[in-house]
Chain A
Amino acid sequence: MSVPLSAIRDCLEGVIPSIVATLDPAGTPNVSYLSQVYLVDEAHVALSNQFFSKTVANVKATGRAAVVVVDGRTGQQYALDLAYERSLAEGETFERMAAQLKAISSQHAVGEVMALRSADLYRVIDCRAVPAAAAAVAVKPPEPVHDGERLALAARLAAAVAAQSDADAMIDRTLDGLTRDLGFANVMVLSLDEGAPRLTTLASRGYAVGGVGSEVALGDGSIGIAAATLRPVRLSDMSRGRRFAEAVRDSAEIDAARFIPLPGLVEPQSQLAAPMISRGKAMGVLFAESPDRFSFTAEDEDALTLIGAQLAASLRLAELEARETAPVVRTTADAAADVVAGSFRVKSFSFDDSLFIDDAYLIKGVPGRLLFHLLQVFVETGRRDFTNREVRLEPSLRLPDLKDNLETRLILLRRRLDEKAAPVRLTRPGRGQIRLEVQGTPRLELAPGG
């Protein structure tokens, strides 16, 4: 093989469409564009098969295909001679291709017709560079591949995340490490509650707004697809695509009064979304993006996946530990601690548990229910200290048994209150403990449903 397959990685990202040609048994050629060529190993590629039935029929009859791929970074073209091995309808290669294809097709707004039916596995007999057009500049060598370096950094960051005992610190350490050590300038972590239809932003770095509490629908864009498919998604050139942020803005379902804008670049060119998987389920997504093309390599994808898995495992452990903490020791000083003049209005809407403080939207769902409950107890009894344990057992909160990501929801609530500079804040005096810091007197109001 004149060109090793690892050198053409950048071709295989769906930026510039690939071409596939086959012959039928009588020698009649067929030529078609191809949405995806996936690098399986040094000697194999897989081709996506959505609808080009003639290609498939020809290949099954003759066993051979020719493919041309284009390096989106340099424009260099490569010709591949392939021998058909077998079809894949499941397994890791198939699932990764399906997730990537979903992300690309959601970008191009072609929707469900792009669903991957099967992937066809081929042995690569030859891979050679196509000579450049006379007018073109000299062929640039492929970008050097620093195999292993980024993974080593990721392993160190995963270890640093694992060393944290506090869920808040795990999240901050992850994002700080991604920006400082791995050089990802724009990053977010989003959480997903089991059975929920959307992800919620917990923290971000590199954006003008923090966006805590903003939401992404499961299955939408690279973030939603990574969560829904449990596979990383990497996009390298979004110049032609319908951008995810636009899609979110265009959504007809947005309730403007209850909407927190997702932080995000106005014109991202590259995106990388890695699912945070624990016990086979997505607990959230780690996300990075860039205004430049080809910002993320295949190794970055592996690196973010590794860190995402560590963060998921650490957060789950923190969740379990927070349940078993002894009740907080209350000091008598607490009760009379704050006598601040003034009051603020807290209004809860029961139909979606959305909460407004002085008419400004705060949050909805379980965190909204939770804060309203804590404030009710505070107003009735003056108590400010609570434990995760009692909150979990409180029937009015309707927390799903065993599945409550209570720690994550408390982090979300606490960060959202901080970001809004709200007159009520949460602090965590110790593991499994929650303290209300209230500036003024809350006036609680329960709006009728609807």
Chain B
Amino acid sequence: MGWRRVIDQDLAAFVQGPVMMILATRSAAGLPAIGRAIGARVTSGRDAIDIFVSPSQWADVLSGVVAGSQIAFTACRPSDYKTFQIKGEVLDVSPMDPADQAVAERYADDMTRELLGLGLQPHQIDHWLTRVGLVRLRLQPRSTFAQTPGPGAGAQLAQIAP
């Protein structure tokens, strides 16, 4: 199982689509901490994923993050609850460049359309669909898991040796 296979093409397409994105890290206090991501982009070699996070909304989740920190990232498609979790390490945290910002804004637009189409109200979304003040987390996937609700939830799909 080569390292590139951790993120196959289907999973890459999935996480770059209009799916709900959540992440968890170990906070500076040593506790689990949660955040939401606004968009994701898989690098061309499928060896890393960039995700975009608001530090003002999710201070805890970024409080303990340094290069090498463990991170869990879960993406869920709201129309059918198809869900994957990716675990790996943070490679770096950096400011957004214009290309990053474009990905995040397109995601926010697509996600808004998707969720309103499913019957949600704008005010139910506006609280977390942040478009400004984001930072980029680049993470290196180590393992992926199916997490769609059901008896198969938690099954490991792929892993590379640490």
A22 to B85: give the CA distance in the assembly, Å.
Answer: 13
A22 close to B126 (CB less than 8 A): no
Task: Convert B95-122 into 0s and 1s, putting 1 for each residue whose CB lies closer than 8 angstroms to a CB of A.
Answer: 0000000000000000000000011110
Chain A residues with CB under 8 Å of B70's CB are 27-29
CA–CA, A132 and B128, complex, Å: 7
- Cβ of A113 within 8 Å of any chain B Cβ, yes or no, is yes
With both chains docked as a complex, state the minimum distance between the C-beta of A203 and any C-beta of chain B, in angstroms: 31
Asked if B154 and A29 sit within 8 Å, CB to CB, the answer is no
Contacts of A53 in B (CB 8 A): 153-154
Residues B153 and A51 in contact, CB atoms below 8 Å apart: yes
Would you give the shortest CB distance from A246 to chain B, in whole angstroms? 14
B76 beta carbon closer than 8 Å to chain A: yes
Q: Across the interface, do B58 and A130 meet the contact criterion of CB distance under 8 Å?
A: yes
A196 to B76, CA, bound (A): 41
Q: Which of B32, B54, B81, B147 has the most CB of A within 10 A?
A: B32
Residues of A contacting B151 with CB < 8 Å?
A: 51, 113
Q: Answer whether A31 and B31 are a contact pair too, CB < 8 Å, given A131-B57, A135-B131.
A: no
User: Does B12 reach chain A (CB closer than 8 Å)?
Assistant: no
Query: B73 near A: Cβ within 8 Å?
Result: yes
Query: A38-72 toward B: CB 8 Å interface, digit per residue (1/0)?
Result: 00000000000011111000000000111110101
Give every chain A residue within 8 A of B73 (Cβ-Cβ). Answer: 31
Flag if B74 contacts A31 (CB, 8 Å).
yes
| Number of chain A interface residues as a range | 35 or more
Are A29 and B71 closer than 8 Å at their CB atoms?
Answer: yes
Smallest CB–CB gap between A19 and chain B, Å? 5
| Known contacts A66-B33, A113-B151; is-contact A133 B74 (Cβ 8 Å) | no
User: With a CB–CB cut-off of 8 A, which chain B residues contact A382?
Assistant: none
- Among A23, A27, A31, A81, contact of B85 (Cβ-Cβ < 8 Å): A31
B123 touches A137 (CB 8 A): yes
Q: Which of B81, B124, B149, B154 is A70 in contact with, Cβ under 8 Å? A: B124
Contacts A66-B33, A134-B132, A136-B127 given; does A29 touch B25 at CB 8 Å? yes
Nearest chain B CB to A267's CB is how many angstroms away?
Answer: 10
| Inter-chain contacts of B23 with A (CB < 8 A) | 31
Q: Is A397 an interface residue (CB 8 A)?
A: no
Cβ-defined partner of A68 (8 Å) among B34, B121, B147, B154: B34
Contacts A31-B85, A35-B149, A54-B154; is A133 near B127 (CB within 8 Å)?
yes
Q: Provide the bound-state CA to CA distance between A70 and B120, in Å.
A: 13
* Residue A146 lies at the interface, judged by CB distance under 8 Å to chain B: no
Q: Is A239 an interface residue (CB 8 A)?
A: yes
Distance between Cα atoms of A137 and B122 in the complex (Å)? 11
* A110-143 to B contact mask, C-beta < 8 Å, 1/0: 1001100000000000000011111111000000
Measured between alpha carbons, how far is A132 from B124 in the docked complex, in Å? 11
A19 and B123: CB pair below 8 A?
no
Q: Is B83 an interface residue (CB 8 A)?
A: yes
Interface centre among A32, A33, A70, A133, by most B CB within 10 Å?
Answer: A133
The residues of B that contact A110 with a CB separation of less than 8 Å are 81, 149-150
Closest-by-CB residue of B relative to A131 is B57
Q: A16 on the interface (CB 8 Å rule)? A: yes
Check A75 for interface membership: any CB of B closer than 8 A: yes
> In the complex the two chains form, is A132's CB within 8 Å of B127's CB?
yes
Docked-complex contact A133 and B32, CB < 8 angstroms: no
A residues within 8 Å of B by Cβ? 16-17, 19-23, 27-33, 35, 50-54, 64-68, 70, 72, 74-77, 79, 81, 110, 113-114, 130-137, 239-240, 293
List residues of B whose CB falls within 8 A of some A CB: 20, 22-26, 31-34, 54, 56-58, 60, 70-74, 76, 81, 83, 85, 87, 118-121, 123-133, 147, 149-151, 153-154
Q: List 8 A-B contacts (CB under 8 A).
A: A19-B22, A23-B26, A27-B70, A31-B23, A66-B60, A67-B34, A74-B123, A239-B118
